[in-house]
Amino acid sequence: MKPRVAVHKFSSCDGCQLAFLNLGETLLKVAGLVDLVHFAEAGPVAPEENVDIAFVEGSVSTPHDLDRIQRIRANSRHLVTIGACATAGGVQALRGLADAKEWVTGIYASPEHIASLDASTPIAQHVKVDLELWGCPVNGRQVLGALRALLSGLMPAGEEDKVCMECKRRLAVCVMVAQGAPCMGPVTRTGCGALCPAYGRDCYGCYGPAENANTVAVSRRLKGLGLMPREISLRFLSINNGAPAFREAGLAANELDDE
């Protein structure tokens, strides 16, 4: 009997599910090795089935999500979160920094029909997560590597190196040094292959905080490059604003005015 796999979607843009679909012919080979029992974007729909591995994209943003993630966890041997929304709340987690009810009231004519939580939260805040794949979006190499390891009975090691290390491996010129670009590479984990710096643009932190991220030093350097405190704050409070290291750095950025 083939291992059973599910791909679930919560509040997200679908970009991380595309990491599967963009595999093309490789996905067909994967489908020959496992039984894809639930993957609505690819065809099969059976969200309540028991599976060996459940990949979850998106954050918990509605009361319905709270119940659904508990059922998925109960039906899954391994639960893997994929992408910034599932691992750190995503861009939508910005509403946790404001009065969400006031936003809803100001935007919708009938706010009583909007069922949403005051905060958008990562999956790990509600259930046990066995593996987190960071990125916005994740890439095919990540999901294939995780799937291969789990099918072999192994837990893949997480990538925690900084993007700067990947730049060195690729022999990419440092955009912060050469161009004075406000690069987030020194505090962001690799996984993208240093895609942006390799093409001459600054990293904007889509893979979340790296291990031992010195956000204080980077904030001071960004100030030295001419960024205003609000601009520095937004560098951290963007895609992965729910990650504690980035949220704390973003909220503390305004204190740079006093230095």
pLDDT in tens, 63-111: 999 999 999 999 999 999 999 999 999 999 988 888 888 888 888 899 8
Q: Does residue 11 contact residue 129 with C-beta atoms inside 8 Å? A: no
pLDDT tens for each residue of 239-259: 999 999 999 999 999 776 655
Q: Which one of 3.40.50.1970, 2.120.10.30, 3.40.50.700, 1.10.580.10 gives the CATH number of domain 4-151? A: 3.40.50.700
Cβ 197 vs Cβ 163: under 8 Å? yes
Domain with CATH 3.40.50.700 in the chain: 4-151
Q: How many CA atoms, within 13 angstroms, populate the side-chain half-sphere of residue 243?
A: 30
Which residue from 191, 234, 197, 181 is spatially nearest to 87, judged by alpha carbons? 191
- The whole model's pTM is what? 0.91
Mean pLDDT across the chain, nearest whole number? 93
Cα gap 167→171, rounded to integer Å: 6
Q: Which of 247, 228, 184 is nearest to 210 (CA)?
A: 184
Residues 223-237, mean pLDDT to the nearest whole number: 95
Using CB atoms within 10 Å of the CB of residue 114, give its burial: 0 to 12 exposed, 13 to 18 middle, 19+ buried: middle
pLDDT confidence of residue 259: 53
- The confidence band for 160, taking pLDDT boundaries of 50, 70 and 90, is confident
What pLDDT does residue 118 have? 87
Instruction: Please tell me the distance from the alpha carbon of residue 80 to that of residue 131, in angstroms, as a whole number.
Output: 5
Q: Burial level of 102, CB count in 10 A (0-12/13-18/19+)?
A: exposed
- Are the beta carbons of 105 and 111 closer than 8 angstroms? yes
